[in-house]
Amino acid sequence: MKFRCACISLLCILLFGFTSAFAQIDAKNWGKNTSGVTLTFHEEPRQTTPDGTILWYNLIGKGFPPDVPYVLWQWLPDREPKAVLKGVSFDQRGVLVCSGKPGFCQGAGPDDPVNIKTTAVAGEMKRMAVASPDGQIAAFADAVPFPIEATDKGCKLSVVRMSPMAERVVARATGFSPGEKLTVRTHSGPEGATLNEIADSSGNWTTVIGTQVKGQTQGKASITLTGASCSVSVAFDWGIGSIHPL
């Protein structure tokens, strides 16, 4: 699918035409889809430029009631979710569009797809949501264009930024046995720690890890997770040196 028409740039995103009240999406409830509705990213081919890879996305919805002027939301690390476009809807294919009808957003023509243009750094998650003005219908989508992850014998460890410069990250592991004992080793510059953890009932493990070293503005960090039969390790930059688009 190719939908190059109206464009919203997440490089410099704007709020269009908000003249009425709408329900605020709470970060604590982010990701909790209303029953029966889903939202996913559809990525177009990437464009390599001297300033980084240009990413193009459309949003595809299923189960949304028709003829509702929904609100498009974005959530950036260390900020509250923000409404970025009012009056969006879905066409017959399920593509998020500006229909041009009265009460809906305007594009270059009828049912003009909402194209999202952005760049990304390693471990950065793009988070978008579409919700009804009263907040009773909502679905969420996320994508990590350049993941920080490693796998070994069915085990997987991934890291996602919680802050723009990766001073705090969420480490997630999957593929372990339920209740399995895990050894977690973290390093950032000269600092390191070893933790004894336990996988949950699904064989997963999640925690928030700080990487910043006092007196430093950038550096390298690593996380190694070892279980009974596999060991996974990732390394990544944090601080000023980590924010260059890939």
DSSP letters, 35-72, are TT-EEEEEEPPPEEETTEEEEEEEEEEESPPSS--EEE
**CATH code of residue 168:** 2.60.40.2240
Mean pLDDT of the chain: 91
Q: What is the pLDDT of residues 58-79, one digit of tens each?
A: 999 999 999 999 999 999 988 9
- Do residues 181 and 205 touch, judged by C-beta distance below 8 A? no
- Do 129 and 178 lie in one domain? The reply is no
- Do 197 and 133 lie in one domain? The reply is no
Q: What is the pLDDT of residues 163-213, one digit of tens each?
A: 999 999 999 999 999 999 999 999 998 999 999 999 999 999 999 999 999
- Do 40 and 81 lie in one domain? The reply is yes
Residue 1 belongs to some domain of the structure: no
- Do 175 and 210 lie in one domain? The reply is yes
Of 111, 143, 175, the one marking the end of a domain is 143
Residue 186 belongs to some domain of the structure: yes
- Do 132 and 234 lie in one domain? The reply is no
- Do 179 and 210 lie in one domain? The reply is yes
Domain that holds residue 208: 148-242
Residue 41 belongs to some domain of the structure: yes
At 23, the pLDDT band (50, 70, 90 cuts) reads confident
Residue 2 belongs to some domain of the structure: no
pLDDT surpasses 50 at 12: no
- Do 52 and 129 lie in one domain? The reply is yes
Of 143, 161, 179, the one marking the end of a domain is 143
Specify the number of domains making up the chain.
2
Locus of tokens 């939202």: 39
Cα dist from 149 to 106, 140, 203, 221, whole Å: 40, 22, 17, 13
* Strand, coil or helix: 136: coil
Percent of the residues in the chain that have a pLDDT greater than 90, as a whole number: 84
**CATH code of residue 100:** 2.60.40
73, 75, 80, 81 alpha-carbon torsion, rounded to 10°: 10
Tell me the helix, strand and coil percentages in the chain, rounded to 5: 0, 50, 50
- Do 236 and 154 lie in one domain? The reply is yes
Residue 13 belongs to some domain of the structure: yes
From the list 86, 116, 118, the residue with the least C-alpha distance to 99 is 86
Which residues is 149 bridged to in the sheet? 158
Q: What is the DSSP letter of 95?
A: B
98: which 2 tokens?
């500006």
Cα dist from 177 to 151, 185, 203, 226, whole Å: 15, 19, 5, 12
- Do 67 and 179 lie in one domain? The reply is no
Q: What is the pLDDT of residue 15?
A: 44
| Residue 55 buriedness (CB in 10 A; 0-12 / 13-18 / 19+) | buried
Q: What is the pLDDT of residue 51?
A: 87
Instruction: Compute the distance between CA of residue 60 and CA of residue 115 in angstroms, rounded to an integer.
Output: 11
Residue 212 belongs to some domain of the structure: yes
| Claim: this prediction has a pTM higher than 0.85 | yes
